[in-house]
């Protein structure tokens, strides 16, 4: 399958930012973990991170043209207020799973709202980096 993994703002700072919340593994570790899993299971995985809303939107629009069959997205703080990102996600009929490393419901009130989750198939949250692997399993139809 052709898959896309998107990470939003500050996720390139994994292993540096709030280690008690996001863990000690860095962004490079996440990229390696997901690349290796995709290769092992025979999938093609494009991985992209941006601190800019437009960069993520461009990638979602590109996915429409290039035959992407599943999107895993951690929109970071854009989750809570980006209607532009939500519109981009709802524009494409590609299965999508939203991932959050932390349990946003245990955190500040503003993190309890996701404007992007309602246009995704589902959401995985609070399970650390494992959530990304679980999202891929869902999209590829693994148990």
- The length of the chain is 143
Q: Is residue 17 part of an annotated ligand binding site?
A: no
Q: Using CA atoms, how far apart are residues 70 and 61, in angstroms rounded to an integer?
A: 13
The residues, ordered by sequence, that sit 6+ positions from 1 with a Cβ below 8 Å of its Cβ are 43, 44, 69, 70, 139, 140
| Active-site residue (options: 65, 83, 100, 105) | 100
Interaction of residue 133 with ligand DQA, rule CB under 6 A: no
For ligand DQA, the binding residues in 90-119 under the rule CB under 6 A are 100-102, 104, 111
Residues 6+ away with beta carbon under 8 Å from 44: 1, 2, 3, 38
Q: Which is nearer to ligand DQA, 22 or 45 (CB)?
A: 22
Task: Closer to ligand DQA by CB, 68 or 74: give it.
Answer: 74
Does 101 belong to an annotated binding site?
yes
Q: Is 87 annotated as a binding residue?
A: yes
Paired tokens of 29: 């570790």
Q: Is 107 annotated as a binding residue?
A: no
Sheet harboring 2-7: ordered strands across? 44-49, 2-7, 70-74, 96-100, 122-125
Task: Tell me the closest approach of the beta carbon of residue 39 to ligand DQA, in angstroms.
Answer: 24
Q: Using CB under 6 A as the criterion, which residues of the chain lie in contact with ligand DQA when the complex forms?
A: 10, 74, 76-77, 79, 100-102, 104, 111
Residues with a catalytic annotation lie at 22, 100
């Amino acid at each position: 399958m052709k898959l896309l993994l998107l990470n939003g703002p500050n996720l390139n700072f994994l292993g540096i930012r709030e280690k008690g919340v996001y863990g000690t593994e860095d962004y490079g570790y996440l990229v390696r973990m997901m690349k290796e899993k995709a290769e092992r299971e025979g999938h093609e995985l494009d991985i992209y991170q941006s601190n800019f809303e437009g960069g993520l939107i461009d990638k979602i629009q590109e996915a429409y043209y290039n035959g992407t069959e599943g999107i895993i997205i951690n929109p970071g703080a854009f989750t809570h207020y980006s209607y532009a990102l939500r519109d981009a996600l709802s524009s494409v009929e590609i299965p999508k799973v939203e991932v959050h490393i932390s349990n946003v419901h245990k955190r500040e009130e503003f993190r309890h709202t996701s404007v992007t989750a309602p246009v995704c198939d589902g959401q995985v949250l609070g399970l650390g980096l494992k959530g990304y692997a679980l999202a891929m399993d869902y999209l590829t139809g693994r148990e």
